[in-house]
């Protein structure tokens, strides 16, 4: 099968998923592998993701307010569904951020480990790739809570790669389709500590958007 055919088969597919709705759960917004979970006490603290070690302030271009957060980095491989879904009920506001520069690094060994289900063999330092990465920040407001949840979508190219399915500001139900990221990419989920959520996944496991729980309210 050619690269073009693989792209159509894997990256651009949009399988039917049940629209689950559970107010006690923050669902996974994307398919992929959880490569990092970090609790930060400040937006100046570093997390790990596609950019290597970076602060929330840097990854969001200063758009994530100061505070304590639980942060999950989800790596979408070439073989994953690239549809991003709403993790909770709420109003999603989309902000396009400037592309971010990272060092070019080969991805072949990482993709091979993923295909062979050797998630524990994944080396985080191999995740960074390509030169300029398009970024989109989603602010998700639940009217019943004081602070917003955030999601940073990162693509492997600098333009026209992250395709929204919604208007710039729109009320959406849990697990509705939010956007698509073409090719390998990263979703960074940022949940305020004030929400009193318990992280119910583990690093180096594969999750599916709208199917698996990421957090549960305590």
Is pTM beyond 0.85? Reply is no
Q: What is the predicted pLDDT for the residue at 63?
A: 94
DSSP state of 112: H
Over the stretch 65-124, which tens digit does the pLDDT of each residue have? 999 999 999 988 878 889 999 999 999 999 998 876 655 444 445 555 555 655 555 555
Q: What is the predicted pLDDT for the residue at 155?
A: 84
d(Cα 206, Cα 35) in Å, to the nearest integer? 9
d(Cα 8, Cα 50) in Å, to the nearest integer? 24
Choose among 63, 79, 65, 83: nearest CA to 187: 83
Identify the bridge partners of residue 152 per DSSP, sorted by sequence position. 137, 188
List, edge to edge, every strand of the sheet that includes 90-101: 169-172, 90-101, 132-141, 149-154, 185-192, 69-76, 32-40, 206-207
Which residue stretches of the chain have pLDDT < 50? Answer: 104-108, 128-131
Q: What is the predicted pLDDT for the residue at 130?
A: 41
DSSP state of 9: I
């Amino acid at each position: 099968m050619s690269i073009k055919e693989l792209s159509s088969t894997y990256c651009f597919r949009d399988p039917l998923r049940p629209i689950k709705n559970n107010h006690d759960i923050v669902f996974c917004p994307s398919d992929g592998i959880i490569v990092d979970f970090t609790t930060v006490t400040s937006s100046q603290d570093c997390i790990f993701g596609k950019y290597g070690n970076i602060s929330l302030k840097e990854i969001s271009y200063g758009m994530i307010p100061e505070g304590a957060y639980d942060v999950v980095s989800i790596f979408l491989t070439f073989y994953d569904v690239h549809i991003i879904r709403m993790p909770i009920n709420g109003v999603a506001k989309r902000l396009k951020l400037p592309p971010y520069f990272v060092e070019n690094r080969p991805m072949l060994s990482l993709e091979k480990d993923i295909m062979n289900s050797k998630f524990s063999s994944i080396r985080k330092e191999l995740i960074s790739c390509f030169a300029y990465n398009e970024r989109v920040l989603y602010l998700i407001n639940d009217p019943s809570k004081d602070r917003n949840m955030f999601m940073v979508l990162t693509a492997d190219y600098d333009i026209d790669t992250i395709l929204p399915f919604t208007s710039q500001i729109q009320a959406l139900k849990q697990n509705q389709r939010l956007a698509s990221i073409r090719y390998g990419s990263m979703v960074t989920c940022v949940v305020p500590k004030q929400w009193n959520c318990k992280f119910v996944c583990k690093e180096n496991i594969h999750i599916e958007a709208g199917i698996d729980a990421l957090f549960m309210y305590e």
